[in-house]
Amino acid sequence: MRFISSIVAASVILAEVVAGAKVPRAFGVPTNDGFPNPSPQQILDISQRAKGRLPDGATPTSLPPNTITALQLIAFNELFETAFFTSLINNITSGADGYQDAPSGALAILTAVQAQEELHALGAISILQTAGAFAPSPCQYQFPVAKLGDAVALAETFTAVVLGALQNANVIFGQDGLSDFVRLVSSVIGQEGEQNGFYRLLLNRIPSEKPFLTTVPPPFAFSALQLFVVPGSCPFPLSNINLPIFPTLATNGGPVALIQPNDQTLSFQADLSTSEAAKQYIGGDGSGLYMTYTTGQQQPFSVSITNVQWQGSVISFSATFPFSSNQMNGFSHGALTTTNNPSSLDALVQCTLAAPAVIQVNDSIL
């Protein structure tokens, strides 16, 4: 119980830590097992730690463009996750300050998870390489967490984002007629869901967050991942992945807002200097701008923004968070949009100026 209490307390300060209270150290992917270019024997060793092997079905020698982009996003994310869990394991095994209170069995669980993420990355990269498409290679990453509780809260948050993005990868694979990929990624969705149930239980939340998990458009997931990439550290242009990167939409002062399960007003901020579409709105009173939320499998819905203030190209505003009428338990996300109630996820992306606002409702079970 002491560990659960410390995690709950740590997750409350996660937004402050991520927002820059400390300058995080840069991390890379593991290299002691040959990753990301392991030999056959090293793949066997990784598989033993992961409790399973890579898929061994034939992969196509060419792929449609949208499927390539979806797989590139998956690979980009899995490389990040591999680095994250490697750094977390290192912190626990080295007895780093803030990481000495790991519960019994946590290290064995995280060791398996880290190897599983390596296989996820290797699988996506292999498919891309077989098809002759660009495959991302590791960047340097920053994990702005100061203790084990922070790390668990961050893992639960980025896994929720990934679970939402993988839903849309399956949509793309279905549209491109790649049923084998739908099956493959569905198995990964289940595996990531098993992980997040564990993290949520440690955070004193119901392991199964809600009946239908929140969907995340791929550009929103790609944008959110940039928070953890050391700028300029990727050995390739980010434009190699055909997805836009939106300006960060901070919520309640940080990139992750942990809030209570009730109706309330949230504060938001974004620097729109890099957004061509935002130029006509800079300095205005907020007319024509909306806060648009996505939660579960409900259609995106918008609320008005208020208290609009500008400091150059940086907009600050408030918006209501209508928890009760929409049952916004667990993870939801928001976007600053130029359309009221966009009709679909594609329409949401098209009218977005800044995103995603990452919102976690702390619906504690105690």
Mean per-residue pLDDT, 117-124: 98
Instruction: Report yes or no: 210 and 298 within 8 Å, Cβ to Cβ.
Output: no
How many other C-beta atoms lie within 10 A of the C-beta of residue 179? 10
Residue 148 confidence class, pLDDT cut points 50, 70, 90: very high
Calpha distance 79→87 (Å, rounded): 13
In degrees, rounded to 5, the angle at the alpha carbon of residue 105 between the alpha carbons of residues 212 and 53 is 65
Q: Mind listing the domains of the chain with CATH numbers?
A: 2-240 (1.20.1260.10), 250-361 (2.60.40)
**What are the tokens at 74?**
């998956």
Please return the burial class of 261, using the count of CB atoms within 10 Å of its CB with bins 0-12, 13-18 and 19+: middle
Calpha distance 323→82 (Å, rounded): 34
Kindly report, residue by residue over 179-190, the tens digit of the pLDDT. Answer: 999 999 999 999
Kindly report, residue by residue over 197-249, the tens digit of the pLDDT. Answer: 999 999 999 999 999 999 999 999 999 999 999 999 999 999 999 999 999 99
- Entry pTM: 0.93
Mean pLDDT of the chain: 92
Query: Directed axis angle between helix 179-202 and helix 2-12, to 10°?
Result: 110
Residue 14 has pLDDT above 70, yes or no: no
Kindly report, residue by residue over 266-321, the tens digit of the pLDDT. Answer: 999 999 999 999 999 999 999 999 999 999 999 999 999 999 999 999 999 999 99
Calpha distance 45→28 (Å, rounded): 20
Tell me whether the omega of the peptide bond preceding residue 356 falls within 30 degrees of 0, making it cis: yes
CA 22 → CA 25, 62, 143, 145, 253, distances in Å?
9, 45, 10, 9, 15
Which pLDDT value is given to residue 7? 37
Instruction: Report yes or no: 150 and 24 within 8 Å, Cβ to Cβ.
Output: no
Instruction: Report yes or no: 333 and 294 within 8 Å, Cβ to Cβ.
Output: yes
Calpha distance 206→65 (Å, rounded): 38
Which of 59-63, 101-105, 112-116, 150-154 has the weakest average pLDDT? 101-105
290 — alpha (psi -120 to 50), left (phi > 0) or beta? beta
Calpha distance 274→276 (Å, rounded): 6
Residue 1 confidence class, pLDDT cut points 50, 70, 90: very low
Which pLDDT value is given to residue 27? 74
Residue 17 has pLDDT above 50, yes or no: no
Residue 24 confidence class, pLDDT cut points 50, 70, 90: low
How many other C-beta atoms lie within 10 A of the C-beta of residue 241? 20
Residue 164 has pLDDT above 60, yes or no: yes
Mean per-residue pLDDT, 147-172: 97
Which pLDDT value is given to residue 22? 46
Residue 60 has pLDDT above 80, yes or no: yes
Residue 149 has pLDDT above 80, yes or no: yes
Cβ-Cβ contacts under 8 Å for 364 (sequence gap 6 or more): 8, 204, 205
Residue 2 has pLDDT above 50, yes or no: no
Which pLDDT value is given to residue 20? 39
Residue 8 has pLDDT above 90, yes or no: no
Residue 339 confidence class, pLDDT cut points 50, 70, 90: very high
Which pLDDT value is given to residue 274? 95
Higher pLDDT, 115 or 4: 115
Calpha distance 134→114 (Å, rounded): 24
